[in-house]
Amino acid sequence: MSQTLGVAVIGLGFMGRTHIAAYNAAAAAGLPCRLVAVCDASPERLSGSGPSMGNLATGAEGKPLFDPASVRVQTDPERVFADPDVHIVSICTYTDTHVPLALRALEAGKHVLVEKPVGVTAEAVRPLADAAAHAWLRGRLCMPAMCMRFWPGWDWLHERVREGTYGRVRSATFQRLVGPPRWAEDFYRDPARSGGALVDLHIHDADFISWCFGRPAAVQTGGTYDHVTTVYRFGADGPGHVVAEGGWNLARAFGFRMRYTVIFDEATADFDIGRDPPLLLHTATETTPVPIASGAGYEPEVRHFVERVAGGGELRATMADALQTAEILDAERESMLSGRAASL
């Protein structure tokens, strides 16, 4: 595709601002994309300089991200879908609006990047997974924004697991902890809409685990919607010990913790976002830092999507992947509520 791809972002909260910053960075790096439209119900956000909230730095902090004089500002998504200058739409609204908006964008012939979670349940995600498969046959892409598949140090881990660089994985533990969301509190406090930390936060590790090791045979989850720990059980070919903890019920001053420890036959990989360097590799004789790119996973995620829209190739994350992750989280919810293991 030789033309510049017009981009629209719907929803200008924390993730919408993050997407805009990522598209701006992609354009600055020479990719064929340009922000042409934004959509939100808030006049303050449509000014281009609304407040930024979130758990960590994303590149969208403290500066205007667009000029309303040169970018179309809309309050009605239908105007975005009808705009012939829009080729790519990022859906960054509340979770329970993702699927209806993405379906409308696909129907209008747009390529669509959908923030996670795509939906709170597999039942909610399935219609979009089906529509995305049909859209792909017509040359339209629809990708879930599973940012950990692009996160520096996590993409490295996936390659080591899949290539068997250090032998088989014997144990993998993941931890993602933070204080409660300080924005849209009514939404996040309602598990029916947000899924709670079980879905909105812990989804990152559930998806990453399935990307590395495949669909688990069963899960055992304990905790609450605000804080869960899950043990993943795989068949004989999978790791014998895989555990992920996710919670957002810590004190606000706690900050953000994101870690993994993965034990291979011949080495142990150790990531901690709060440490410099964040990724260490331990062997029998030494500990060495692993060079990784700086920054978060949002910019490489958006670059990947723009490149696939412009030039073709396989998506690193698909709506079929999003559906499988939603099915895993459904099983985790079932196990959490019943106190018993749930099979998949």
Q: Where are the domains of the chain?
A: 5-145, 149-298+326-343
- The second-level CATH assignment, the architecture, of 149-298+326-343 is 2-Layer Sandwich (3.30)
pLDDT at position 57 over 70: no
What number is the average pLDDT over the span 2-21?
A: 94
- Kindly report whether the peptide bond that precedes residue 117 is cis, defined as omega within 30 degrees of 0: yes
pLDDT at position 44 over 90: no
Measure CA of the first residue to CA of the last residue in the chain; give whole Å: 41
What number is the average pLDDT over the span 145-159?
A: 98
Q: Which residue has tokens 């900050």?
A: 255
Model pLDDT, residue 64: 79
Model pLDDT, residue 42: 86
pLDDT band at 3 (very low <50, low <70, confident <90, very high): confident
Burial class from Cβ neighbours inside 10 Å (0-12, 13-18, 19+) for residue 57 reads exposed
d(CA 4, CA 21): 17
Domain 5-145 has CATH 3.40.50.720: yes
